[in-house]
């Protein structure tokens, strides 16, 4: 699951705390077939000028550390780290897929993006 907030909006960042609590409260992680949810925190709009940022990278990283999830800064507008965000969550989920079980799908991860990555000013 990708939880995305706007680095230019304090309000969206504060809502992440609410959503993480909701996920934690409503996810059954006990029992034989129960797995904890796989979450990646994504700070979108990392292309914003520093003067327009309301959420620093350090604060977002601290939030991710608190919840034990990876953090990625991205820009959907400039296509910065978008594929990386999806690949990160896929790599988190893939080990939970049992290749020996007939009731669970298998997955093969392939990076279909270009070799060149745009740098992010964040």
> Model confidence over 51-83: pLDDT tens digits?
999 999 999 999 999 988 999 999 999 999 999
Instruction: Judge whether 13 lies within some domain.
Output: yes
CA dihedral sign, ordered 20, 24, 26, 27: positive
In a domain, 103, yes or no: no
Asked whether residue 122 is domain-assigned, the answer is no
Q: Is residue 41 part of a domain?
A: yes
Supply the pTM of this predicted model: 0.72
Number of domains present in the structure of the chain: 1
pLDDT score at 32: 52
Residue 42 within any structural domain of the chain = yes
Q: Is the pLDDT of residue 122 over 90?
A: no
Residue 91 lies in a domain: yes
What's the chain's average pLDDT?
A: 81
Could you tell me the CATH number of the domain that includes residue 66?
A: 3.40.50.300
pLDDT tens digits for range 12-43: 999 999 998 888 887 766 555 556 778 899 99
Residue 117 counted as domain residue: no
* 81 Rama sector, left if φ>0, alpha if ψ -120 to 50, beta otherwise: left
Q: Does any domain span residue 118? A: no
The percent of residues above 70 in pLDDT, for the chain, comes to 70
- Which residue's entry shows tokens 């996810």? 27
Q: How far apart are CA 85 and CA 94, in angstroms?
A: 14
Q: 59: domain range?
A: 2-96
Q: Where are the alpha helices (DSSP H) in 26-68?
A: 57-67
Q: Is the pLDDT of residue 102 over 90?
A: no
Report CA-CA distances (Å) from 42 to 6, 55, 80, 100, 109.
9, 12, 12, 32, 20
pLDDT value of position 114: 47
């Amino acid at each position: 699951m990708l939880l995305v907030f706007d680095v230019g909006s304090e309000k969206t960042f504060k809502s992440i705390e609410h959503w993480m609590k909701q996920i934690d409260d409503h996810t059954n992680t006990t029992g034989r077939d129960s797995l904890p949810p796989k979450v990646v925190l994504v700070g979108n709009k990392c292309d914003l000028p520093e003067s327009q940022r309301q959420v620093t990278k350090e604060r977002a990283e601290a939030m991710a550390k608190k919840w034990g999830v990876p953090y990625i800064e991205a820009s959907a507008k400039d296509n910065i780290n978008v594929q990386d965000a999806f690949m990160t969550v896929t790599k988190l989920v893939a080990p939970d897929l049992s290749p020996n079980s007939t009731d669970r799908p298998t997955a093969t991860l392939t990076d279909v993006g270009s070799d060149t990555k745009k740098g992010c000013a964040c």
